């Protein structure tokens, strides 16, 4: 183990109490999921015990991104991509973000499923949502890839008790047989981004991520980032940049849902 890696390991040991607390919160959440009556987070229909709280009918109502898809950003290609200007969605993305795909549009019931996972503590949704991301993940990378969750800020992780992107990556990894590794750390806090525009988001996350130095030996170049929602691509571009700076090329990124573009400035 290199000294840099030992330093990283040391910092992990120092935050061991926090890890135990987070793990405890997560396990407690899963235990409550198993004990509570299973009710669909979208339509409140009864769901079989032991299943994630998403009924089969609502699962079939999740809307895939309407084809034809842009081969780079994976969003609906509204114009002729061979024409000047190309895709309006990803034309201004930085070069480092090569490929993204999303399983579903961010519309009902996907919005309710994500809300249930992130804000209502239904952590058991993560594995089912991750499994549903498998076809889109294969569009990013056909072969086995290292799945790397987009990290939360330490403050947000303490507040929530779990990283929803990590739960999705674990579910996706289980479905595909691909490994999951938390290579990235978020080094500084950005402002809440839910209502930020494209340029504001890019500024908020610039330089916000780094790879734990000396701990990239298992990354063979087939890294796919995993997040819950893609909006402007700014966060993912910064993650790709951090991976690239550490010598880890990123094949692309995948999310459970994609925010439809709101305006040219959004
Ligand atoms: Zn339902
Ligand atoms: Zn595009």
Going from the Cα of 198 to the center of ligand 2, the distance in angstroms, rounded, reads 15
- Kindly tell me if the per-residue pLDDT of 119 is higher than 90: yes
> In whole angstroms, how far apart are CA 218 and each of 69, 172, 179, 213, 232?
32, 19, 10, 12, 29
Query: Average pLDDT for residues 105-126, to the nearest whole number?
Result: 95
Going from the Cα of 94 to the center of ligand 1, the distance in angstroms, rounded, reads 38
Q: Which ligand is in closest contact with the Cα of 92?
A: 2
Q: What is the pLDDT of residues 151-198, one digit of tens each?
A: 999 899 999 999 999 999 999 999 999 999 999 999 865 545 555 555
Indicate the pLDDT class of residue 220, thresholds 50, 70 and 90. low
Q: What is the pLDDT of residue 109?
A: 96
Q: Which ligand is in closest contact with the Cα of 38?
A: 1
Q: What is the pLDDT of residue 55?
A: 95
Going from the Cα of 37 to the center of ligand 1, the distance in angstroms, rounded, reads 14
The domains located in the chain, with CATH, are 60-258 (3.40.50)
Q: Looking only at Cα atoms, what is the longest distance across the chain?
A: 56
């Amino acid at each position: 183990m290199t000294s840099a890696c030992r330093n990283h390991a040391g910092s992990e040991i120092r935050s061991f109490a926090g890890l135990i607390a987070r793990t405890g919160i997560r396990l407690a959440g899963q235990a409550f999921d198993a004990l509570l009556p299973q009710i669909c987070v979208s339509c409140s229909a009864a769901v079989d015990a032991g299943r994630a709280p998403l009924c089969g009918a609502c699962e079939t109502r999740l809307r895939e991104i309407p084809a034809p898809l842009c081969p780079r950003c994976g969003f609906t290609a509204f114009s002729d991509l061979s024409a000047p200007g190309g895709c309006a969605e990803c034309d201004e993305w930085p070069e480092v973000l090569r490929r993204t795909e999303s399983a579903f549009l961010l519309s009902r019931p996907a919005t309710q499923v994500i809300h249930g996972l992130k804000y209502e503590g239904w952590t058991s949704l993560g594995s089912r949502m991750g499994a549903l991301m498998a076809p889109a993940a294969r569009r990013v990378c056909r072969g086995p890839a290292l799945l790397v969750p987009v990290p939360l800020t330490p403050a947000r992780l303490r507040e929530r008790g779990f990283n929803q992107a990590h739960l999705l990556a674990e579910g996706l990894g289980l479905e595909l047989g691909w490994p999951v590794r938390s290579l990235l750390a978020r080094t500084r806090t950005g402002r809440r981004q839910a209502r930020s525009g494209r340029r504001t988001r890019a500024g908020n996350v610039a330089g916000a991520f780094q790879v734990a130095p000396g701990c990239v030996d298992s990354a063979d170049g087939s890294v796919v980032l995993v997040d819950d929602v893609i909006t402007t691509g700014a966060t993912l571009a910064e993650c790709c940049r951090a991976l690239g700076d550490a010598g880890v090329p990123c094949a692309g990124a995948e999310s459970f849902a994609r925010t439809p573009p709101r305006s040219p400035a959004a």
